[in-house]
């Protein structure tokens, strides 16, 4: 059984993420979506909330997709999951530069695990979780970028943040 890992913060999970998940799942027998916290980002949702969101959004994909959290080096996580492949999505040249450097570092840590890059669908390339959150916080419509359920989750969180700030 060939296992792949698709790591990310998924804060929140976007249509771009879902595109990469669906396409990445076709490349492996088992795709493990690793939900983590990036110390350089300020999450809107807890790890548990993000995992629940991703599980809900991938429920129709069956047992071939698993959602787990991790708080370690990606290569340690990939090894624990028995992964042969790390799936990464690319949106733009800026993503490539960062991802290229990360893939090189990861290869130095474990050259038995390959990194596979998938280009995001052209219509989804501009979508970034950071921008989705920013648009929502300023009252913009995010329904073009996330599923209806995620839009509702984000809207509810924005209302909670607004109540705390009042």
User: pLDDT tens-digit profile of 109-165?
Assistant: 999 999 999 998 888 888 999 999 999 999 999 999 999 999 999 999 999 988 776
In the chain, DSSP finds a helix count (H) and a strand count (E) of: 6, 5
pLDDT beyond 90 at 41: no
Distance between CA atoms of 73 and 63, rounded to whole angstroms? 25
Domains of the chain: 3-165 (3.40.50.620)
Average pLDDT on 50-77 reads 96
Q: What local confidence, expressed as pLDDT, does residue 96 receive?
A: 85
Q: What local confidence, expressed as pLDDT, does residue 97 receive?
A: 86
Told to judge if 129 belongs to the known catalytic residues of this protein, a careful annotator would answer yes
Told to judge if 50 belongs to the known catalytic residues of this protein, a careful annotator would answer no
Told to judge if 152 belongs to the known catalytic residues of this protein, a careful annotator would answer no
Query: How does the average pLDDT of the chain come out, rounded?
Result: 93
Q: What local confidence, expressed as pLDDT, does residue 44 receive?
A: 95
Q: What local confidence, expressed as pLDDT, does residue 165 receive?
A: 63
User: pLDDT tens-digit profile of 72-101?
Assistant: 999 999 999 999 999 999 987 778 888 999
Name beta bridge partners: 116: 87
> Does this model's pTM top 0.85?
yes
Distance between CA atoms of 79 and 76, rounded to whole angstroms? 5
Query: Which one of 2, 41, 130, 152 is the catalytic residue?
Result: 41
Q: What local confidence, expressed as pLDDT, does residue 162 receive?
A: 81
Told to judge if 17 belongs to the known catalytic residues of this protein, a careful annotator would answer yes
């Amino acid at each position: 059984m060939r296992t792949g890992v698709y790591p990310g913060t998924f804060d929140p999970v976007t249509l771009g993420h879902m595109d990469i998940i669906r396409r990445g799942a076709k490349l492996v027998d088992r795709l493990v979506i690793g939900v983590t916290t990036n110390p350089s980002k300020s999450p809107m949702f807890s790890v548990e909330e993000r995992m629940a969101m991703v599980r809900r959004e991938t429920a129709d994909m069956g047992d071939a997709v698993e959602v787990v959290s991790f708080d370690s080096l990606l290569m340690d996580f990939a090894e624990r999951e028995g992964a042969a492949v790390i799936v990464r999505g690319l949106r733009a040249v800026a993503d490539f530069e960062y991802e290229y450097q990360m893939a090189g570092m990861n290869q130095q840590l474990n050259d038995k695990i390959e990194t596979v890059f998938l280009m995001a669908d052209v219509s989804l390339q501009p979508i970034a979780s950071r921008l989705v959150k920013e648009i929502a916080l300023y009252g913009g419509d995010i329904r073009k970028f996330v599923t209806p359920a995620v839009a509702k989750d984000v809207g509810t969180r924005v209302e909670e943040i607004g109540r705390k700030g009042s």
